[in-house]
Chains A and B, each alone.
Chain A
Amino acid sequence: MTTTSLEAVIVPRKRGGGRILKQLKGFGWMLVGLAVFLALWQFAASGEESVPTPLDAATTLGELWSDPFANSTNDKGIGLHLYISLQRVFLGFAAAAVVGITLGLLMGAIRPVWQAMNPIVQVLRPVSPLAWFPIWLYIIKDAGVSAVVVVFITALWPTLINTAAGAAAIPRDQRNVAKVFRFGPLAYLWHVLIPNALPLIITGLRLSMGIGWMVIIAAEMLSGNSGIGYFVWNSYNALELDKVVAAIVCIGVIGLALDAVLLRISRRVTLEEVRS
């Protein structure tokens, strides 16, 4: 205890100074990168009248976020569109997580289930999720719900496949322990299968979330009248490319935030496992 408090007094000041300098340096290089990027953009945009410059985009972004949740019949705010898209992604993602983890555990743990499902999974997985969209639209009739279903299908595969891989790789020792002490299905699930598969399950979820956020935009562009994808497409039709660019920035930032959250969870899980 005494050593830690000593350290707390003495070391951080020294190390803290170094760390701040390092962070400043990193920040500096980030600014350099940003400046080069913006300069290239400016250069590319200056030839063509309709292509927005960085300044145009920034101005539009500011305007859009001055009243993000406006909700009149033909002028919904960008915040509202983003919120609707996020809702759809979460719904589809949650359904994919539940189904993907359940089926993945079954596939990984029970050989015949693997053999029955693997060919189907392998064929369906590479199909572009948008190819399904007409089918869902025809069956469901509602573009918003269809978009959720498309997200579900897209997000299903990474979670399913990663979970199955994790559940299939149980160390022989642990399988033997479960056999000798005759673990029932619940104990096997809870104490052997899930803890072993957990790191890969989280990896799968992270991939699913990323891909889901990508595909929702495309799905919303195809049909419907809400969501950030619709916003992009609508702005294009009105030839407001500055709005398109502003939306792209928002999409990128949100995608980054979603990934950061899942990355955090995955780090925690791996740390737990390493510590044990």
Chain B
Amino acid sequence: MTIRITGIRKSFKQQDVLRGIDLTIQAGEFVSFIGHSGCGKSTLLNIVGGLTKPDSGSVLVNGQPVTAPGPDRAMVFQNYSLLPWLSLLANVRVAVREARPDWKRERVDEMTERYLTAVSLWEHRNKRPGQVSGGMAQRAAVARAFAVGPRTLLLDEPFGALDALTRSRLQQQLIELWGHESETETVLMVTHGLDEAILLADRIVVMSNPPYQSIRTIIGVPIPRPRHRTTIGHHPAYDEIQQQLVDLLIADHVEELAGAAA
């Protein structure tokens, strides 16, 4: 699944949020998006997901223009978005059944069980989202996205609300699921964590607010896989990438502060 994004523009009430995005993502790639709050990361992801229409430009998935959401592109939302009256199990099962009407019941149940187990929620499957911690709800949302067997996964800060320990465990699970235990090849992931971006991504897309272009830079991460969070820091490229990211984000931030003060 190659995703080809060309000339995407989007504004909300005079505010030019996406100012011409061009980006091609190869099948099998893991791409992270990083940037300050409000620079349009969620908006871009929603456009790729087919939830938001761009003002201009196009998104092609394997040459086909995206016009609506589809089971080939599952999303995990910034605020997990489970249906509060359904158990975790039902949240996953209903989503799979609806997204994959052609699947037999056994297949639906099997996928539901497989991914709820993969995120260690099988014992808690009968609880409702309100009865579990934020981290568990987040994991259920991840399981739901994987269980529909999407070729592309769109993750909007999926681990944002988690404590460091849970987050690193989920990152590991995500790598494993993406690596070989699922049909998912391509991942687009918005994150605020520099470490997380370097650990997971093949390329990091740094996005900016005006006056810069929406895509400030794209940084490749030439660190071989399998990567592990405890050892990745020793790789010679790690510090350099991290420094690059910090510089870009801080520079942006300083400029913003200066702009606000003026």
Residues in A lying within 8 Å of B, measured CB to CB: 173-174, 176-177, 179-184, 187, 191-192, 195, 272-273, 275-276
B49 sits at the interface (CB 8 A) = yes
Total interface residues on B, CB under 8 Å, equals 30
Question: Contact between A276 and B128 (Cβ–Cβ < 8 Å)?
Answer: yes
Contact of B85 among A173, A187, A276 (CB under 8 A): A276
Contacts of B84 in A (CB 8 A): 273, 276
Question: Contact between A182 and B70 (Cβ–Cβ < 8 Å)?
Answer: yes
Residues in B lying within 8 Å of A, measured CB to CB: 49-51, 68-71, 73-75, 77, 79, 81-86, 94-99, 101, 128-130, 144, 148
Q: How far is the CA of A259 from the CA of B96 in the complex (A)?
A: 42
Question: Contact between A191 and B94 (Cβ–Cβ < 8 Å)?
Answer: yes
Which B residue's beta carbon lies closest to that of A272? B85
Q: How far is the CA of A191 from the CA of B90 in the complex (A)?
A: 10
Contacts of A184 in B (CB 8 A): 98, 101
Question: Contact between A174 and B83 (Cβ–Cβ < 8 Å)?
Answer: yes
Contact of B69 among A180, A192, A276 (CB under 8 A): A180
Q: How far is the CA of A174 from the CA of B77 in the complex (A)?
A: 10
Q: How far is the CA of A273 from the CA of B128 in the complex (A)?
A: 11
Question: Contact between A192 and B95 (Cβ–Cβ < 8 Å)?
Answer: no
Contact of B95 among A173, A177, A272, A276 (CB under 8 A): A177
Contact of B98 among A181, A272, A276 (CB under 8 A): A181
Interface of B (DSSP majority class): loop
Question: Contact between B148 and A181 (Cβ–Cβ < 8 Å)?
Answer: yes
Which B residue's beta carbon lies closest to that of A179? B69
Q: How far is the CA of A36 from the CA of B99 in the complex (A)?
A: 66
18 contacting pairs across A/B (C-beta < 8 A)? A173-B81, A176-B51, A176-B77, A176-B81, A177-B77, A177-B81, A179-B68, A179-B69, A181-B71, A181-B96, A181-B144, A182-B71, A184-B98, A187-B97, A187-B98, A195-B83, A276-B128, A276-B130
Question: Contact between B51 and A179 (Cβ–Cβ < 8 Å)?
Answer: yes
- What is the distance, in angstroms, from B151's C-beta to the closest C-beta of chain A? 14
Which B residue's beta carbon lies closest to that of A187? B98
- What is the distance, in angstroms, from A55's C-beta to the closest C-beta of chain B? 54
Contacts of B68 in A (CB 8 A): 179
Question: Contact between A187 and B130 (Cβ–Cβ < 8 Å)?
Answer: no
Which B residue's beta carbon lies closest to that of A176? B51
Which B residue's beta carbon lies closest to that of A192? B83
Contacts of A276 in B (CB 8 A): 84-85, 128-130
Question: Contact between B98 and A183 (Cβ–Cβ < 8 Å)?
Answer: yes
Question: Contact between B77 and A191 (Cβ–Cβ < 8 Å)?
Answer: no
Question: Contact between A191 and B130 (Cβ–Cβ < 8 Å)?
Answer: no
- What is the distance, in angstroms, from B235's C-beta to the closest C-beta of chain A? 36
Contacts of B85 in A (CB 8 A): 191, 195, 272-273, 276
Contact of B99 among A181, A191, A195, A272 (CB under 8 A): A181
Question: Contact between A182 and B94 (Cβ–Cβ < 8 Å)?
Answer: no
Question: Contact between A177 and B83 (Cβ–Cβ < 8 Å)?
Answer: yes
Q: How far is the CA of A44 from the CA of B67 in the complex (A)?
A: 75
The 6 closest A-B pairs by CB, nearest first: A173-B81, A181-B95, A181-B99, A180-B69, A183-B98, A195-B85
Which A residue's beta carbon lies closest to that of B79? A173
Q: How far is the CA of A191 from the CA of B92 in the complex (A)?
A: 12
**Residue from the set A174, A177, A179, A180 with the largest chain B CB neighbour count within 10 Å:** A180
